[in-house]
Structure formats: C-alpha cells, structure tokens
Amino acid sequence: MQKSTKTQLWSMACLLIVAAICVSNLAQATRRILPPPRFGTTIPANSVMRHEQRLARVREALKSHHVRGTIGYLADLPIEQLRADARAMEEYFLSQFALVPAVLDANMESCTWAVANLHGTPPAERLPAGFRIVEDCGDGVLLLRQENR
C-alpha cells in the first residue's frame, strides 16, 4: 500500500504541475490578444464619391450654361508640374470622371470654358489672363469663361 500512495502522490504532483503550466500558458495567451476597440472602427470616406460631390455644383452649372465638349482644367499646380505630381493627376482624372460627358484639357488656351479645382491657392493667383469667374461653386471649385471669345 505504501507504494500505491507514493504513486498517487507522484501522479497528483504531475497533474498539479501540468495544470499550473496550462494556467500560465492561458494567462500569457490572453495578454497577447488585443482588447476590442472602445469605439467602432470608422470607414474611410470614399474619395471618388467625395470628389464627385465636390464637383456636383459645377456639373450642374455646366449643364445650365449648355457647355459641351472640351473644357479647360485649372489646378493649384501649373500644367508642367501637374503631370509630375501623382496626387494632382489623380484629382485631374477624378474630375474628368465626375464631369463626364465634358472632356477636360489641362491646356486651357484653346478652351472657352474651364473648371478651376483649387485647394490652397487663391483664385486670383491662378486665374489665367482673359478668364473670368462665371460661378463660384464653393470649396475651391469655379466655373470660368474666357472673355475674348
């Protein structure tokens, strides 16, 4: 009987050691799991839809003035720098997408109408000679017309 008591004690000790290791592993695992966020995750705004909404008023202005075909495009950057700036080119293409069926041309010299898409530059600094503001559509978006045409 003494031998079986030693075996029982040995089994009990091994069982306690295994249980202690399991509890320790479980505690370590719960520390690695990040707590759930306190606030719901925000979905970033769709930049295409945001840009389309920004240009909605100028699109309506183009329709009301019966403007069709190719129109000029004026941005914060001159045409030479526009092509080298990825963000500016993205804005150009998003503007083209938002203003379909009009076709945008960054070279405004041959255009009677133009759209200015300005973020940080005052219109007076970027307005080309011979153009005047027909409508201020807000948020830096302007409809322009060349006067001498």
Contact 74, 109 (CB under 8 A): no
CA gap 145, 72 in Å, rounded:
9
List average pLDDT for each run of 10 residues in the chain, which is 149 residues long: 78 90 85 69 71 93 94 92 90 94 91 93 87 93 88
> Are both 93 and 137 inside the same structural domain?
yes
Q: Within a domain: residue 113?
A: yes
> Are both 22 and 54 inside the same structural domain?
no
Contact 74, 116 (CB under 8 A): yes
> Are both 88 and 134 inside the same structural domain?
yes
pLDDT of residue 65: 94
Could you give the number of structural domains in the chain?
Answer: 2
pLDDT of residue 41: 54
> Are both 57 and 117 inside the same structural domain?
yes
> Are both 64 and 90 inside the same structural domain?
yes
Domain, as residue range, for 9: 1-35
pLDDT of residue 37: 66
Contact 114, 72 (CB under 8 A): yes
Is residue 114 classed exposed, middle or buried when 0-12, 13-18 and 19+ CB atoms within 10 A define those classes? buried
Q: Within a domain: residue 41?
A: no
pLDDT of residue 93: 94
Q: Within a domain: residue 5?
A: yes
Q: Within a domain: residue 107?
A: yes
> What are 48-91's pLDDT values in tens digits?
888 899 999 999 999 999 999 999 999 999 888 988 999 999 99
> Are both 18 and 73 inside the same structural domain?
no
> Are both 31 and 54 inside the same structural domain?
no
> Are both 82 and 135 inside the same structural domain?
yes
> Are both 56 and 88 inside the same structural domain?
yes
> Are both 23 and 78 inside the same structural domain?
no
> Are both 123 and 58 inside the same structural domain?
yes
